Amino acid sequence: MSALPQRLSLTSLDTIPALFDTHHRPLVEHLTGVAETLLAEASHDSARVAADMGARHGLYPYLVPEKHGGAAVNAPDAATHVDVRALVLIRDVLGYASPLADAIFAVQGLGSYPIVLAGTDAQRERYLPAVIRGERIAGFGLTEPEAGSDVASMRCEARPDGDGWVLEGDKHFISNVPIAHHHVVFAKVAGDEETLRRIGAPEDPRRRITAFVVESDTPGLEQQSQQLSIHHPIGALRFRGCRIPGDARVGAIGQGFKLAMQTLDTFRISVGAAANGMATAALDDAIAFVKGREQFGKPLSAQQMIQGYLADMATELDAARLLVARAAHQKDTTGGRASTEVAMAKMFATEAAQRIVDKAVQLHGGRGVLTETRVENLYRDIRPLRIYEGTTEIQRIIIARALLEDR
Q: How far is the CB of 163 from ligand COS (least distance, A)?
A: 29
Which member of 157, 168, 389, 393 is catalytic?
389
Cα torsion 369, 373, 377, 383: sign: negative
Q: How far is the CB of 401 from ligand COS (least distance, A)?
A: 7
Q: How far is the CB of 345 from ligand COS (least distance, A)?
A: 14
Segment lying near ligand COS (by CB under 6 A), choices 82-90, 112-120, 261-269, 373-381: 261-269
| Inter-CA distances, 62 with 91, 131, 330, 364, Å | 11, 11, 18, 37
- Is residue 181 packed enough to be buried (19+ CB in 10 Å), middle (13-18) or exposed (0-12)? middle
Which of residues 261, 288, 314, 402 is near ligand COS by CB under 6 A?
Answer: 261
Contacts of 260 (CB under 8 A, 6+ apart): 114, 142, 151, 186, 209, 211
Assign 280 to helix, strand or coil. helix
Which of residues 181, 258, 380, 383 is near ligand COS by CB under 6 A?
Answer: 258
Which of residues 120, 149, 229, 334 is near ligand COS by CB under 6 A?
Answer: 149
Q: Quick check: 398 binds ligand COS (CB under 6 A)? A: yes
- Is residue 124 packed enough to be buried (19+ CB in 10 Å), middle (13-18) or exposed (0-12)? buried
Nearer to ligand COS, 174 or 360 (CB): 174
Assign 40 to helix, strand or coil. helix
Nearer to ligand COS, 33 or 76 (CB): 76
Segment lying near ligand COS (by CB under 6 A), choices 50-58, 123-131, 158-166, 387-395: 387-395
315-344: which residues touch ligand COS (CB under 6 A)? 337, 339
Q: Is 389 a catalytic residue?
A: yes
Q: What angle do CA 93, 21, 327 make, to 5 degrees?
A: 65
Segment lying near ligand COS (by CB under 6 A), choices 14-22, 217-225, 231-239, 253-261: 253-261
Q: Are 210 and 188 in contact (CB under 8 A)?
A: yes
- Is residue 226 packed enough to be buried (19+ CB in 10 Å), middle (13-18) or exposed (0-12)? middle
Task: List interacting residues with ligand COS (CB under 6 A).
Answer: 142-143, 149, 151-152, 257-258, 261-262, 264-265, 337, 339, 388-390, 394, 397-398
